[in-house]
A = this chain, B = another copy of it.
Amino acid sequence: MTQPAIAIIDQIRFFLDANDKRGLTALIDNLKSNELIHAIGHLPKQEQASLLTLLAPEDAADVIEEIPDAQAVEIIEDIDAAQAAAILDKMTSDEQADLIQEMHFEDAEAILDQLSDEDANEIRRLVMYDPKTAGGIMVTEILVFDEQLTVGQVIEHLRVAVRSDDDTLLRYIYITDSKGIISGVIQMWDLVPATPDTRLINIAQRAVLTVNVDTQLDELINFFDTYDFYAVPVIDHDGRICGAVLRKDLLEAETENMVYEHLETQGIVGGDEIRTMPVLLRSRRRLSWLSVNILLNIVAASVIAYHQDVLESVIALAVFLPIISDMSGCSGNQAVAVSMRELSLGVVKPTEAMRVWIQEVSVGIINGLILGLLIALAAFFWKGNIFLGIVAGGALMLNTILAVSIGGTVPLLLKRFGVDPALASGPILTTITDMCGFFLALTFASMLLPQLGGL
């Protein structure tokens, strides 16, 4: 049995109240990552800050690295800039940059002010890189040596300097020529059989594939798909090696992108939401999407208002309008999800909307027929009028075909024109399908009005 979370929080509070640094450190050290994340999320803001300031900076840095960025930024912004800087100082440069990037400008500047000029400039430089580029996800803790050094010198250096530093990329040694330009790469593995007086240049692989600080995330994904490397060196605008992108970090960045995309399709704008964030911030982020959506909904519903006279004659139809709206949305969103997935896999390209449409329309016809038949049967059994079934079922059938056509192709078209499909596909889909669904149902009803009157 793991201990219940409430006990852990009580323990943390006990040590905080007693100002017992040693006890708190020992407790935190023994918590698993998920226990820590969970406990910190349950502390009030003030106690989160006390916890970080009571711990030694290196232990506080460990805590910050464990918890999600969004939560970490909130806590760091709350504590004294000097103490925040001391904690950041114990983190690797790319982690520092990730946090600084998400902070409010004035909080970030206050912390950078407290760091050494060198560190602050390194962070400022890293923050400049777009998080969706190589510069934004590279690690800068890499091994770079002059090509004329010997294997013995390097092993000696590694023994002295690197032993306890887990954060350095130990798998590769990059070598540079006299001008500081990368001239080769050696796998750590290759040092084992080499004699100590061998020069690095003589065991290095000379043809080194590199990427640029501006290389985009999807190009990097292609790169690692093509080459079975653990990491690739990154070259800055001056042609010098400034870091390396690790395959695993790329996977993490890709995962994070997918999380953002998933949250965006559900209308959480601006990325991650953690419920410990301020209520007004959460409310605003969600509203920015809802308020657009309600306007689109009003536009769609105006189709009903316009045909109000038909509805007045066939009031039973009012039961079917929300069903048609919801079901078309569901069918369309399935097609959106498959298109988003195929786009991210590279199975389909943004220019191939026609191909996708042909593949969707066949599924749309089958599902439209079946769903239309179901709703027609429901209508018939309810009112005993076959024509009500024809109106409702026919509208749902045609609208299902329309919905999968739009749902399948809109993400491709949006992507092609540079609009984020995760955010925009849903509202566009539901607005169009609602309008058409209402229009179809009400138009069919107006055509069959003599057969439907008084329902």
Contacts and interface: CB of A to CB of B under 8 A. Distances in A.
A322 to B, nearest CB: 5
A146 interface: no
A128 interface: no
Nearest to A305: B319
A430 B308 CA distance: 26
A336 interface: yes
Contact of A287 (B282, B326, B370): B370
A280 interface: yes
Contacts of A382: 305
A334 interface: yes
A34 B297 contact: no
Interface string A148-161: 00000001000100
11 contacts: A268-B338, A275-B348, A279-B359, A287-B370, A289-B334, A290-B331, A294-B375, A298-B375, A302-B319, A311-B318, A322-B325
A38 B345 CA distance: 9
A208 interface: no
Contact of A334 (B189, B267, B337, B348): B267
Q: How many copies does the complex hold?
A: 2
A266 B37 CA distance: 29
A119 interface: no
B71 A347 contact: yes
A32 B224 CA distance: 10
Given A68-B345, A293-B330, 20 more contacts: A32-B225, A33-B226, A34-B346, A37-B347, A38-B348, A66-B225, A188-B192, A192-B192, A263-B341, A266-B333, A275-B348, A275-B356, A276-B347, A280-B366, A287-B371, A293-B326, A294-B323, A311-B318, A315-B318, A326-B430
Contact of A159 (B71, B193, B263): B193
A264 B302 CA distance: 32
Interface stretch (A9-17, A95-103, A251-259): A251-259
Given A255-B255, A315-B308, A37 B346 contact: yes
Interface string A21-52: 00000000000111001100100000000000
Chain A binding surface SS class: helix
Interface string A211-248: 00000000000100110100000000000000000011
Given A290-B371, A297-B327, A347 B32 contact: no
A32 B263 contact: no
A32 B304 contact: no
Contacts of A276: 347
A329 interface: yes
Contact of A298 (B189, B193, B378): B378
A298 B275 CA distance: 34
A192 B193 contact: no
A116 interface: no
